[in-house]
Structure 1
Amino acid sequence: MKIALIGYGKMGKAIEEIALQRGHTTDLKIDINTIDSFTAANLQQCDVAIEFTGPHSAVENISKCLDAGIPVVSGSTGWLEQWQIIKDKCETLNGALLYASNFSVGVNLFFELNKKLAQLMSNHEEYAITMEEIHHTQKKDAPSGTAITLAEQVLENIPRKKKWLNEAAKYPNELSIISKRIDPAPGTHSIKYSSEIDDIEIIHTAHNRTGFATGAVLAAEFLAGKKGIYTMKDVLNI
């Protein structure tokens, strides 16, 4: 499989390493120094694009891939206020898109665990709920896309929580996400339920980028040749 890497920083290089190990090639690599190569003609020489950039460039990058008719896997976070635009475009062009806030197999299992725990805790109002996420200082968005996904899962399953915010909660209907930026942390996410009697806490800690990179390549393998909009739940069949 020929892969276009849109974003060739630390994450892009980690994805390339896994892709090569799995027998693929990275025929197009786009970063700030090779932006002139980011053309429809070059994209169309590849089977799938994997886009890991930032919140300010993701929408344009994904759009360019869809316009070129190439399936695109995106792991950029911080841009989902424009999700409907991209969704509509993908459907109009009969394209293929797979978006995930986190491609790690372990994190996607953690998402399912988070939903189940929130369901179990829904009627136990004696427990206060807090969230924390820790990432390296180069991460451009806060809270992380993974933390937002986790928070929205809690909101969906615990009706007394109406919104999340990226600071300490002032009101009972708010869900607090505390973001910390500490090097060299690749990513830790925790959800804690605290009462006067006890605490219940689930934590996912990434040790390196390998899990994210492997999941992104698995997603690209899944998406190649398909049409439609998918998530990691489709890739992992969960």
Structure 2
Amino acid sequence: MQLDEVLADLWAESAELDLLVGGLAADGWATPTPAEGWTVAHQIAHLVWTDEAAHLAATDPDEFTATLKQAMESPTSYVDEGATEIATLPPAELLIHWRQTRVELADALKAVPAGEKLLWFGPPMSPTSMATARLMETWAHGQDVADALGITRQPSSRLRHVAHLAVRTRNFAYLLNDRTPPSAEFSVELQGPDGQQWSWGPEDADQRVTGSALDFCLLATQRRHRDDLDVRAVGAEAEEWLGIIQAFAGPPGKGRQPGQFA
């Protein structure tokens, strides 16, 4: 998929989340979300912080390298500390800040020379992959906000980006958990929101993952526990992957508890 297409879907995903938070009263931004210790303000602040970091990676690689060194000194808390600081902004100011940073990031990604990859906290990424990662995080944090506000979102075809990223980062999830990635590709077959069939990998693979695209994305972003989802594995390696799957960079997450959203 081309960068412009992914950026258009990222814009739509951001706009949907903007609608959820844009009309909140100031005290609504203090609503706790399923992420321990995080309010709605923290969720948006995290997006701001990461958009700014991605913008830096796209525009000033040397400065971003310095950021990476700082992050390595406190890998489990560096990003959260930055987001927590941004979350102290007044809600109206935080919302404007987020709107500005996502526009600036889109412009910066478009300006990256063809074939160039961006440094990141995980493996280097192309501008298109970076935009996909930003869409994934926007969707995931949007899920936390929706859960906090008691809102059920309608899934869209934009979930394909999230699922694609989860499949592409399979080996990264293994490495994060100090495990050796399998040598063979898996087959992943998912049912999209409108009945589409989305698939990755060889059809005749021994290791297979099937189920709902929405549920697969909720699992890959660790927004639901696997016991509560329609995602199935065939094969021991596929089973292992679903236990450690992680579409986002950073240390392994804690995920959610079974039945937390029943």
Query: Normalized against structure 2, the TM-score is what?
Result: 0.27
For CA contacts below 8 A with separation 6 or more, give which structure has more relative contact order: 1
In terms of fraction of residues, the more strand-rich structure is 1
